[in-house]
Amino acid sequence: MSEKNMSCVDCAVRNCEFLNRMYPDFCLTTELTEEQTREVLDLYGQEENHRTMCAAAEVETEGYLKECRVEEVIHFAEKIGAKKLGIATCVGLLRESRTLAKILRNRGFEVYGAACKVGAVPKTKVGIDPKCEAIGVSMCNPIMQAKLMNAAGTDLNLVVGLCVGHDSLFYKYSEALATTVVTKDRVLGHNPAAALYTADSYYSKLMK
């Protein structure tokens, strides 16, 4: 592979993390201009970004190798001062979202949930190929989920198992910060990393 096509995914050095090694020739860090760095650092100076970044760093540090993601999400929400949490859930994970809501309410949060099929819109109404009705006639409605949460005034939105792409639209239209509690993978128990861990063995078909 030519160096011009190489980027961080091809790096085995990670000097940006360790700061005590050599940067590779194709390094993104060494190619940054002062202006790019300054622009981004200025953005971290904005109030919401600053609060979010500091809270995320503290959650990572304090919970490192101790807290599961649900615990980290709770601590993050507390640290940014969120009171009302939105749960954008897949209907297939409503049971898990109910459990999450119970946990969050026990911690004093107000919870507002919207399921992916909210609005009960037929898939064909928005031009989805009728063949997609094979797994259900009602479309997922992530924009509506986001709009409902925006109207409800949620402080932080939590994604529970939205489909690939539906999650993209939810993030696009969510006015509040959003984080993921469950990443949907129907085949691998919502653990997509399993396919990557086993890409040189059981999931070698991905490499073809």
Binding site for ligand SF4 (CB under 6 A): 8, 11, 13-16, 23-24, 27-29
d(CA 103, CA 109) in angstroms, rounded, equals 9
Angle between helix axes 47-62 and 69-79 (nearest 10 degrees) is: 140
Whose Cβ is closer to ligand SF4: residue 38's or residue 50's? 38
Whose Cβ is closer to ligand SF4: residue 19's or residue 135's? 19
Q: Are the beta carbons of 167 and 159 closer than 8 angstroms? A: yes
Smallest distance, ligand SF4 to C-beta of residue 38, A: 18
Smallest distance, ligand SF4 to C-beta of residue 17, A: 7
Whose Cβ is closer to ligand SF4: residue 3's or residue 71's? 3
For 29-58, b/e burial (b = at least 16 CB within 10 A) is eeeeeeeeeeeeeeeeeeeeeeebeebeee
Tokens of 102: 């119970």
Strand ranges across the sheet with 110-115: 110-115, 84-89, 156-160, 177-182
Whose Cβ is closer to ligand SF4: residue 8's or residue 43's? 8
Smallest distance, ligand SF4 to C-beta of residue 40, A: 14
Whose Cβ is closer to ligand SF4: residue 16's or residue 152's? 16
d(CA 186, CA 183) in angstroms, rounded, equals 10
Whose Cβ is closer to ligand SF4: residue 10's or residue 175's? 10
Smallest distance, ligand SF4 to C-beta of residue 14, A: 5
Contacts of 168 (CB under 8 A, 6+ apart): 142
Smallest distance, ligand SF4 to C-beta of residue 36, A: 13
Smallest distance, ligand SF4 to C-beta of residue 56, A: 19
Q: Are the beta carbons of 156 and 85 closer than 8 angstroms? A: yes
Q: Which helix (H) or strand (E) holds 86?
A: strand 84-89
